Amino acid sequence: MSDVVFSGVDKVYGDVRALNQLDLTIEEGELLVCVGSSGCGKSTLLRLIAGLEQPSAGDIAIGGQSVNGVPPQQRNVAMVFQDYALYPHMTVRENLEFPLKMHGLDRPEIDRRVQRAAEQVHMEELLERLPKQLSGGQRQRAAMGRALVRKPAVFLLDEPLSNLDAKLRVNVRAEIAELQAELGTTMAYVTHDQVEAMTLGRRVAVFHQGRLEQVADPQTLYRKPANVFVAGFIGNPPMNLLPAQPSGEGEFLVGEQRVRCGGSPELLRRTATLGVRPEQLCLCRSDSEPGLAGQVDNIEHLGHETLLYVRLGHDPAALAVARLQGMQPFVKGERVRLAFEQQNLHFFDADGKAIFNP
């Protein structure tokens, strides 16, 4: 096992900066999940670790040794891609054996490693099958087994579950978590799916347009987002982000409503963005109760809960979603009032940086 350290790493393709001044450490034995939308730089990060790309600036170290300029075959890094990339004319056993034969291992060692890898990914009884005889989940596990036989110092997974159906993704995701816990291998896992990120990662690194926005455990990302992007990316539905104008006397104007804030005097003089999670909004019990008045814009009935979208005035950005328990009987255009606890409010400055988290 080895740690991986990025120090001031840039990666530039022509006019495109895929990674910008990246400082990040993947601890030895850690499963770090990198999440972000397409084009944010997360797959570039994996390619740099694997040696398939070289940094434009900065340094990458694996196990305390710089690997800038070191070719892929000398890095002891294994990678699993979104596409299974199994040799279709080879059985599962032959696919697992192939990298070991390329490294010149003797037959007893090859047999021992293949059997161990097959046990780790629960493929012992499928070793003689061809890839076309396997399900999607079995093919992905075979691809993982082929990477594991090499006993890599670092294991890289690039969107490995994207080609699986929803139920199978849940199953294989659990298997990956169990496998990593058993092996203690350093893993970097890339996905665009925040559910995968939040359920798999001990720490999660959030990327946006080549920049690392925040790296933290899932609970911290959810409760104390560093900026507007993280707040709006993490959570389903994401945090409500509403324009707020200071109106004096310790209050902000949100839509056409006044909202009190317990922040510092400096905060109360700034134009800001107010953030509140959908599950922290509820319906006012009376018209006299303080809250945000608005008009129902859309309703999503999900059985166990209802997502209620409420337009708060004329500003197009002043749209809030409330997560309510059960099937709630609303109609579009209905007037409602949303209540919240002051201690649940987040505030972000004009540059999007968090200036107040509860």
What are the tens digits of pLDDT across the range 79-95? 887 777 788 999 999 99
**Looking at the predicted structure, is the pLDDT value of residue 268 above 70?**
no
177 plus 290 within the same structural domain: no
- Among 181, 204, 229, the domain-final residue is 229
142 plus 277 within the same structural domain: no
Paired strand residues for 308: 299, 322
Q: What pTM value is reported for the model? A: 0.85
214 neighbors 221 (Cβ within 8 angstroms): yes
Q: How confident is the model at residue 160 (pLDDT cuts 50, 70, 90)?
A: confident
90 plus 139 within the same structural domain: yes
16 plus 148 within the same structural domain: yes
Distance, CA of 54 to chain centre? 24
240 plus 219 within the same structural domain: no
**Looking at the predicted structure, is the pLDDT value of residue 255 above 70?**
no
- Mean pLDDT on 254-261: 70
| Domain residue limits at 253 | 233-356
224 plus 238 within the same structural domain: no
pLDDT, tens digit, 9 for 90 and up, residues 314-324: 777 788 999 99
4 neighbors 26 (Cβ within 8 angstroms): yes
- Residue 219 — φ and ψ, nearest 5°? -65, -40
Read off the tokens for 128.
């003689």
Tally the domains of the chain: 2
pLDDT, tens digit, 9 for 90 and up, residues 196-250: 899 988 899 999 999 999 999 999 999 999 999 999 999 989 999 988 887 766 6
52 plus 200 within the same structural domain: yes
63 plus 211 within the same structural domain: yes
97 plus 215 within the same structural domain: yes
- Among 229, 261, 284, the domain-final residue is 229
pLDDT computed for residue 152 by the predictor: 85
110 plus 185 within the same structural domain: yes
pLDDT, tens digit, 9 for 90 and up, residues 301-344: 998 999 999 998 777 778 899 999 999 888 999 999 888 887 88
Q: How confident is the model at residue 30 (pLDDT cuts 50, 70, 90)?
A: very high
pLDDT computed for residue 261 by the predictor: 65
- Among 183, 209, 229, the domain-final residue is 229
CATH of the domain at 165: 3.40.50.300
pLDDT computed for residue 270 by the predictor: 67
249 plus 106 within the same structural domain: no
CATH of the domain at 323: 2.40.50.140
